Amino acid sequence: MNELLNWQIAAGAAAASIALGYLLGSIPFGLLLTRMAGLGDIRSIGSGNIGATNVLRTGNKKLAAATLLLDALKATAAALAGYYIAGPEAGLLAGFGAFLGHLFPVWLGFKGGKGVATYIGMLLGVAPVWVLVFAVVWLTVAFISKYSSLSALVATLVIPVALWIVGSEKVALVMAIMTAVSWWRHETNIKRLLAGTEGKIGQKG
């Protein structure tokens, strides 16, 4: 009986952590900021995405930077909240929930961003040192290839593998799932990379 009760409590805490994270992650900062700035609906330009990359297409670099920062911090906030309320595993689940909330916000018909900023934010919340590894990999690939999307794809692939190697299996598993989902959301970018038609960093038109 006690085991059943403990399992129910654990399941309830897990569900609450994911729900809390999802609600935080589903806040569409890119859409809200561009509307407040009088730039209209970000979903009507470029890729139609609500993330920082598409916000940058408005020509407002400060707004794009703010979107990137807030999209990352909402996942960090979710992970830290989960951790302080119910421990490390709850933190992982809350951060993962924020990632899902950003990608599939119920308020926008489940059409959100691609998750790179929230991926970084999650990492900052559960394994902050690894944000530096992500940044080094991203910058290295970007310097060599000039492709922002390829840099993100490689960095999100390296992180769970590296975490697994150093023995952080639980974090590695969650990050691996996030990597798989993020790669799926980057399907069009991958196709353009393979076709040689993906836009490069700094490329105009």
User: How far apart are the C-alpha atoms of 148 and 88, rounded to whole Å?
Assistant: 32
H, E, C per residue of 101-153: HHHCCHHHCCCCCCCHHHHHHHHHHHCCHHHHHHHHHHHHHHHHHCCHHHHHH
The SS3 assignment for 1 reads coil
Place of tokens 């353009």: 192
pTM: 0.89
Q: Which helix (H) or strand (E) segment is 78 a member of?
A: helix 61-86
* pLDDT per residue of the chain (205 residues) written in tens, 0 to 9: 555 445 455 556 778 889 999 999 999 999 999 888 888 888 887 777 888 888 888 878 898 899 999 999 999 999 999 998 888 888 999 999 999 999 999 999 888 889 999 999 999 999 999 999 999 999 999 999 999 889 999 999 999 999 999 989 999 999 999 999 999 999 999 999 999 888 787 665 4
Judged by DSSP in three states, 205 sits in coil
Say what the pLDDT of residue 10 is: 55
Note the pLDDT of residue 187. 92
pLDDT at position 4 is 47
Q: How far, in Å, CA of 123 to CA of 168, rounded?
A: 12
Distance CA 172, CA 161 (A): 7
Cβ neighbours for 163, distance < 8 A, ≥ 6 positions apart: 127, 130, 169, 171, 172, 175
Q: Are 20 and 98 in contact (CB under 8 A)?
A: no
Answer yes or no: are the C-beta atoms of 71 and 102 closer than 8 Å: yes
- Say what the pLDDT of residue 174 is: 95
